[in-house]
Amino acid sequence: MTRQIYKVASVLLCMQSVLTFEEKKGYFWQVSDFHYDANYSSHGNPLNMCHQGQGQGYSNSQYGNYHCDAPWVLIESAINAMVKFHPYPDFVIWTGDSIPHVKNSDLDSLKVYENIGNVTLRLKQGFPNTTIYPVLGNHDEYPADHYPNGSTNYYSDILYKSHWHTLLENNTADEFKTGGYYQGHTKTGLVMVGLNTNLLFSQDPLTKGTGDPAGQFQWLRRKLSEARSLNKKVILFSHIAPGYFEKYQDLMWFYNDYNNEYIKILQTFNDVIATQVYGHEHTDSFRLVKDSYGEPVDILFLSPAVTPWNSSLAGVGANNPGVRLYEYNQNNGEIINYWQYFLNLSSVISGNPPNWALEYEAKKVYNLTKLQPLEVLALVNSFDNDKFNKLYMKYLQFNSVSQDVMPYCDESCVKQHFCAISELEKSGYQSCLHGEITTHHPRPHHSTPKAPPKDVPKYMEYVIIGLGAVVLLLFIVIALICLKKHRFIPNRYSRFNSNLASNPIN
């Protein structure tokens, strides 16, 4: 009898795995903000971006200095670390900013194309058979922060002089020329949408008040609607994220009207957008998109930079160089977990070898079972309720990629992080900063009126009967296969069936 029950249970288990979409794990890298400075010198002046001048004799590490942008050795070291930790990801997302924080007079268009081109070739050398999805950063234009409202030769120059045509699929290169945004597809059918959110940046004087810079909003809505109608999921990636900087009060990245429009799109299409990743801040953080009822519906992952450069914004500070490996569901595009790797630059500066290492594993360190919006909201709420919370202290340390391991954060600093993470729009952010509680309206359960039943045409009845017969036939075939194989089932469900999942370092 027990044997019979076991047999039936095994068959049912097998059928369930065949008939439902199993979580199929895949991995991808995100690397951001290289800010490669070709003029970095180990004898240069740290107060002048480590550039060599007359009569200067400083001694900087070959791998960088917290006051300066990244030397080529650091760029190579970051890419080599990615290859070492996970050489065969499904793809690499590269979220922009390859140009250093130097004066416009130290640069020109050709230097910009060459600089970005060098990074492109080096990434391709590291991942020769992997698709690399690049997006532009606000520093990648010349002059920086001057993306025009419309098409420009700059986009074709990036494609051909910086070798991006070798990264983008053929038909997407044309799309890219209209405004630096494009769409691609993964092997498992996910839609990759790369945006140029620099067009929305409040430091760009050319796009202010132009409504829909380079037609990107309209294009994005169209692409998301298409994905929805085809029942496809989207991975969205861009350089600058919407909302506020968590380390600098009241600094919203986009123009306010563009921020509102962007958030509206994220809310409208949250059923289609599976994942979002951004760079630009150089810090390690995340954001929550809420729906009109105040419930979190999506997470935006903000990955730190490769450059260690100490921000020019007062009090923001420097960071250690970092790269990030995500684990995601290849079927629906959702992030399952991620591993943040880093180079402890101060240790390298003190003479130790440049060893990239795991800084933390997201789910483990934050005690989360899933990286889902509700769980992340609960985590963030615990930050605000108790500033001495151990998890909050961890978050703060990771925020600078462990450059500051004992960060000081007073009450207003705690508020700033909390409000930037949980409120992306102006009104919500301001209320949050001033201590007002954001109202969470319960979502009505029967808000959508049901459509009256329609008459089914006669031919549809035949189609439905035919489909029913096919499903029944499949059911019988699968049951027969499972009956034959049921004794192997315990192995398939072993906890130890994936070395990679338990230890992606190898």
CB 114, min distance to Zn ion, A: 19
280: which 2 tokens?
């630009």
Spatial separation of the C-alpha atoms in residues 81 and 320, rounded to whole Å: 14
Stretch that binds Zn ion, among 133-141, 161-169, 269-277, 447-455 (CB under 5 A): 133-141
CB 97, min distance to Zn ion, A: 4
Spatial separation of the C-alpha atoms in residues 499 and 501, rounded to whole Å: 6
CB 320, min distance to Zn ion, A: 15
Stretch that binds Zn ion, among 66-74, 138-146, 370-378, 398-406 (CB under 5 A): 138-146
Helices (H), 162-252: 170-179, 216-229
Stretch that binds Zn ion, among 7-15, 272-280, 338-346, 434-442 (CB under 5 A): 272-280
Cα 424 to Cα 53, 232, 241, 277, 460: the distances in Å are 44, 26, 10, 15, 46
Helices (H), 146-293: 153-161, 170-179, 216-229, 256-268
CB 202, min distance to Zn ion, A: 12
Residue 97 binds to Zn ion (criterion: CB under 5 A):
yes
Stretch that binds Zn ion, among 33-41, 347-355, 386-394, 421-429 (CB under 5 A): 33-41
Nearer to Zn ion, 97 or 327 (CB): 97
- Residue 253 has what DSSP assignment? S
Pair 99, 140: CB distance under 8 Å: yes
DSSP 273-291: EEEEEE-SS-S-EEEEEE-
Q: Please give the size of the binding site for Zn ion, defined by CB under 5 A.
A: 5
Pair 277, 303: CB distance under 8 Å: yes
Stretch that binds Zn ion, among 276-284, 344-352, 368-376, 377-385 (CB under 5 A): 276-284
* CB neighbour list of residue 319: distance below 8 Å, 6 or more residues apart: 282, 283, 284, 304, 305, 308, 400, 401, 403
Amino acid sitting at position 499: N
Per CB under 5 A, which of residues 195..234 are in contact with Zn ion?
none
Nearer to Zn ion, 138 or 330 (CB): 138
CB 289, min distance to Zn ion, A: 21
Residue 137 binds to Zn ion (criterion: CB under 5 A):
yes
Residue 247 binds to Zn ion (criterion: CB under 5 A):
no
Stretch that binds Zn ion, among 44-52, 273-281, 365-373, 415-423 (CB under 5 A): 273-281
CB 365, min distance to Zn ion, A: 25
CB 243, min distance to Zn ion, A: 15
Q: Which of 27, 33, 112, 338 binds Zn ion (CB under 5 A)?
A: 33
Nearer to Zn ion, 135 or 371 (CB): 135
- If one counts every other C-beta atom within 10 angstroms of the C-beta of residue 320, the result is 24
Q: Which of 60, 115, 138, 402 binds Zn ion (CB under 5 A)?
A: 138
CB 196, min distance to Zn ion, A: 12
**ω into 71 cis (within 30 of 0):** no
Residue 69 binds to Zn ion (criterion: CB under 5 A):
no
Amino acid sitting at position 406: M
- Residue 451 has what DSSP assignment? P
* CB neighbour list of residue 320: distance below 8 Å, 6 or more residues apart: 304, 308, 342, 343, 344, 345, 346, 400, 401, 402, 403
Would you call 199 helix, strand, or coil by DSSP?
Answer: helix
Nearer to Zn ion, 247 or 280 (CB): 280
Nearer to Zn ion, 137 or 354 (CB): 137
Of 365, 211, 347, which Cα lies nearest the Cα of 284? 365
Interface mask (CB under 5 A) for Zn ion, residues 353-392, using x and -? ----------------------------------------
Q: Which of 163, 280, 287, 486 binds Zn ion (CB under 5 A)?
A: 280
Q: Which residue's Cβ lies closest to Zn ion?
A: 97
Stretch that binds Zn ion, among 36-44, 61-69, 114-122, 134-142 (CB under 5 A): 134-142
Stretch that binds Zn ion, among 91-99, 340-348, 403-411, 473-481 (CB under 5 A): 91-99
Nearer to Zn ion, 146 or 387 (CB): 146
Rounded to 5°, the CA angle 45-48-53 comes to 55
Residue 287 binds to Zn ion (criterion: CB under 5 A):
no
Amino acid sitting at position 221: R
Nearer to Zn ion, 282 or 415 (CB): 282
* Backbone φ, ψ for residue 31 (5° rounding): -130, 140
From the number of C-beta atoms within 10 Å of its C-beta (0-12, 13-18, 19+), residue 401 rates as buried
CB 101, min distance to Zn ion, A: 8
Q: Which residues bind Zn ion (CB under 5 A)?
A: 33, 97, 137-138, 280
